[in-house]
Chains A and B, each alone.
Chain A
Amino acid sequence: MKVRVKEVYPIFAWSWDTYTESTDLHNNDPLHNKYPNKINNETYTFLKNYRNDIDDVCGICRVSYNGVCPNCKMPGKSCPLVVGTCNHNFHYHCIYRWLDTVNSKGLCPMCRQEFTLKPDVVINAKHTQKFMELISKNRERRLMMEREERELNDDLNMDEEDEVTRDAIDNAAGATEAWTQVPQDISDEEEDMTYDDPIE
């Protein structure tokens, strides 16, 4: 039988190389060890990532890793992906914007460990410098906040030794406690308190 190819439609797919533990996975997977030559390491990684990436979305913007963050139009180089040491992936723009907020305290949104870029991952290489700067900025912020908190506590302790200030705090606390019903007139109230049968 003779087959004549009339037209060819080449189809391409790409995926971010989030390759992390897949080598170990591959080697330990009996299914793949049985046919070690049929599918090479790279292809396996690609397929694994590609399949995962269809389901896996950036936890921050909920768009696929291979898609774009809300501020970008073209997927790919202009909206890259980064891999954390904790193996959580995000669009570079999404995670950068999060880590740049005071709220973040420099933590991974998924596991709340300090977010650092996983070393020796190809796609991370370009961003290492910027993330290092961000990490030190967040560490400084944290130290400053801790220092402020300590100073505040010291201030409060000092106040407690001071009679006058303590009275002022007590009064303030009393004012907030009695939120709704402000006694209309203090002298009135004291008159009311002289009942026929005084309470011991």
Chain B
Amino acid sequence: MSRLIKEYKTINAQDDILLFPETADNLNNWTAMITGPPNTPYEGHDFKLYISIPDAYPNSPPMVKFHREAMPHVNVNYETGEICLDILKGEWSPVYNLLYTVQSIERLLSEPNADSPLNLELGILMREGDKTAYDSLVRYYLQRQK
């Protein structure tokens, strides 16, 4: 737990990062805001991440989700917001921290991975190499939510 307090202090000292615990006296649940990377269909949109910290942290990875039905992405289950990312599963290392995790998810938006699709249709579009359709469909979902 004391490591989380350290992370909290570091993150708090930087004002350009939108990563904060739900309440200052409970560091088990965090929220983060990430911005859609430029030159992706996510550009111009912000996304909220829900982070919950397991007791075994940092020996177990944090559990991170998008809001349900908010993230059309090949590695995200659209219905539940569940994310498929190696460092959130088997490739986790205790030297990673919350900030690194959030940054990795931000990177996932510009680097989708067709090998582990949680969104089957977007997976097909990626494997077919139909980037036009992928971007169009993603934009449709994002715009529709507004």
Contact = CB atoms under 8 A, between A and B. Distances in A.
Do the two chains touch directly in the complex (Cβ atoms below 8 Å apart)?
yes
Interface of A: 59-63, 70, 94, 97-98, 101, 103-105, 107, 109-110, 112, 177, 179-180
Contact of A98 (B1, B6, B94, B120): B94
Contacts, number: 43
A70 B3 contact: yes
B2 A70 contact: yes
B59 A103 contact: yes
A98 B57 CA distance: 10
B94 A60 contact: yes
Given A59-B94, A60-B59, 17 more contacts: A61-B2, A61-B58, A62-B3, A63-B2, A70-B1, A97-B59, A98-B59, A98-B94, A101-B56, A101-B60, A103-B61, A103-B90, A109-B93, A109-B94, A110-B93, A112-B93, A177-B120
A61 B3 contact: yes
Interface in B68-82: 79
A60 B93 CA distance: 9
Interface residues of B, number: 18
Report the 8 A-B pairs with minimum CB-CB distance, sorted nearest first.
Answer: A59-B95, A109-B93, A60-B94, A70-B2, A109-B95, A109-B94, A101-B59, A62-B6
B92 interface: yes
Nearest to A97: B59
B119 to A, nearest CB: 10
A60 B96 CA distance: 8
